Amino acid sequence: MIVVPGDKSISHRALMFAALGGGRSRVRGLLRSADVHSTAGVLRALGVAIPDLDAPEVAVTGVGLRGLRAPAGALDCGNSGTTTRLMAGVVAGAGVTARFEGDASLSKRPMRRVARPLEAMGARIELPPHGGLPMTVHGAPLHGVTWHSEVASAQVKSALLLAGLVADVPVEVHEPAATRDHTERMLRARGVDVRTEELAVTLVPGGRLDALDMDVPGDPSSAAFFAGLAAIGAAREVAMPNVGINPGRIGAFAVLRRMGAQVRFDDAAEQGGEPVATVVAAPGTLRGTVIAPEEVPSLIDELPLLACVAARAEGETRVTGAEELRVKESDRIAAVVANLRAVGVDAEELPDGFVVRGSDRPLAGRVTTHLDHRIAMAFGVLGAAAGNAITIDDPSVCAVSYPAFWDDLARVRLG
């Protein structure tokens, strides 16, 4: 059995909403990883007393929607895109001025996707010519917006909803495809009027955000690594209790099933407004599959892992419509394909995806992680299969989302 750590997306939001809420919030099961520490640090710099995250229950006294103060120095977002983009919305809404900085990976990632709609709401934002960090948001009063986003991004959607919430103005966001809806669920549970109609989400201002008391479910993106490990036969049956099975997050489990692995959801329940279950995964005879563009938002973070599973499947696996992978913690299309080839797998890049031809021959070589936690963990799974000898240049990058990953892997892997 593996108890996967708390959901990263929900942990960021839980801290932000606790900080901005009225009264005292309580959060249990928070992910304690570098990315979540980045959010805590940014909130502290904006004047919120966020305690040490190590306690089993983290209690935060919110400063209220109008309570943030201008930071004394730059906001260090580390490796975390979610911290940067969601907090850009919060800071713009609060009308304070702040400069966002990050590590070498984050500094390269596209920020115009949040800057442009926030500017359309009245914010003034300075970006370097390459459109990444450092980004300075200058405080200004905001007005409402209707925005048609070109990218299917929960971070962009959430940034706009949070800007509207904090500035108390209406926001309507249209997405090209449905993305994870944690922000909408969590705001609704705190008394905020958020409406969803097909691909449009509307926030009706109400000046209210109630305190929260919640248990964060386990992260399906972390659980996917162990489902993949079982799928390739590098573990026997693995059971992971209390994993979030939000429909916007579970595409990878469906793909693993389609490839021939056994994956089931037992004891389905609800926790903190999110569906949860015990995810149980076991080996099967794997064959390649086609991952279609419309599936991509529900498994975007799991594609490096699925590529590594495809390397042990019979036949070809083809992914298209996943150009967003090029602007994640690394260019994940280039990184996945180069690393697969480095260990002996037949793989090729597509502009918006990749093709992997699986085999059962032994794989060996060295993987370059490019400061990308999911590249490290995906190849850690592939390296755990019998007969493979794969080394990872920087295994410590898993601390971004799953600090105990290597210990958990060592516990359940066979051999």
In the complex, what is the shortest distance from the CB of residue 151 to ligand S3P, in angstroms, rounded to a whole number? 7
Of 154-213, binders to ligand S3P (CB under 6 A) are 154-155, 158, 180
> Smallest Cα–Cα separation from 226: which of 203, 266, 253, 186?
253
Residue type, 204: V
**Greatest CA separation for the chain:** 61
Q: Which one, 12 or 312, has the nearer CB to ligand S3P?
A: 12
Residue closer to ligand S3P (CB basis): 238 or 300: 300
Beta bridge partners of 367: 392
**Minimum gap (Å) between residue 282 Cβ and ligand S3P:** 27
| Stretch binding ligand S3P (CB under 6 A), from 147-155, 192-200, 243-251, 312-320 | 147-155
Is 145 within 8 Å of 121 (Cβ atoms)? yes
* H or E, element range at 201: strand 200-204
Which segments within 245-352 are labelled E, that is strand? 262-271, 274-282, 290-291, 315-319, 346-350
The vertex-112 CA angle with 109 and 113, nearest 5°, equals 90
**Looking at beta carbons only, is 109 or 357 nearer to ligand S3P?**
109
For residue 366, the cross-strand partners are 391
Whichever of 84 and 278 has its CB closer to ligand S3P, that residue is 84
Q: Which of residues 245-274 bind ligand S3P (CB under 6 A)?
A: none
Count the site residues for ligand S3P by CB under 6 A. 10
Q: Does 30 bind ligand S3P (CB under 6 A)?
A: no
SS3 call for 306: helix
Q: Of 283 and 295, which CB lies nearer to ligand S3P in the complex structure?
A: 295
| Minimum CB distance to ligand S3P smaller for 10 or for 169 | 10
The whole-angstrom separation of Cα 224 and Cα 71 is 37
| Smallest separation, CB 374 to ligand S3P (Å) | 9
Residue 300 sits in the site that holds ligand S3P (CB under 6 A): yes
CB of 412 to ligand S3P, least distance (A): 24
Of the candidate residues 11, 79, 82, 298, the single one contacting ligand S3P (CB under 6 A): 82
Six-digit token pair at 131?
A: 């459109």
Using the rule CB under 6 A, give the single segment among 52-60, 88-96, 118-126, 149-157 that binds ligand S3P.
149-157
Q: Among 261, 282, 235, 256, which residue's Cα sits nearest to residue 386?
A: 235
Say whether residue 222 binds ligand S3P (CB under 6 A): no
Nearer to ligand S3P, 89 or 228 (CB): 89
- Name the token pair of 83: 């911290």
Site map 321..340 versus ligand S3P, x via CB under 6 A: ---x----------------
- Is 80 a binder of ligand S3P (CB under 6 A)? no
CB of 244 to ligand S3P, least distance (A): 12
Q: Are strands 315-319 and 353-358 parallel, antiparallel or unpaired?
A: antiparallel
Interaction between residue 301 and ligand S3P (CB under 6 A):
yes
Contact 402, 32 (CB under 8 A): no
Residue 266 CA to residue 287 CA, distance in Å, equals: 25
Q: How far is the CB of 201 from ligand S3P (least distance, A)?
A: 13
Answer left, alpha or beta for residue 223, where phi above 0 means left and psi between -120 and 50 means alpha: alpha
Which residues 6+ apart lie within 8 Å of 396 measured at CB?
A: none
User: Could you give the CA distance from residue 88 to residue 71 in angstroms, rounded to a whole number?
Assistant: 13
The two three-digit tokens of residue 314, written as one number: 């019979």
Instruction: Point out the residues that are catalytic.
Output: 301
For ligand S3P, the binding residues in 7-26 under the rule CB under 6 A are: 9
CB of 1 to ligand S3P, least distance (A): 25
Cα-to-chain-centroid distance, residue 13: 11
| Contact footprint for ligand S3P (CB under 6 A) | 9, 82, 153-155, 158, 180, 300-301, 324
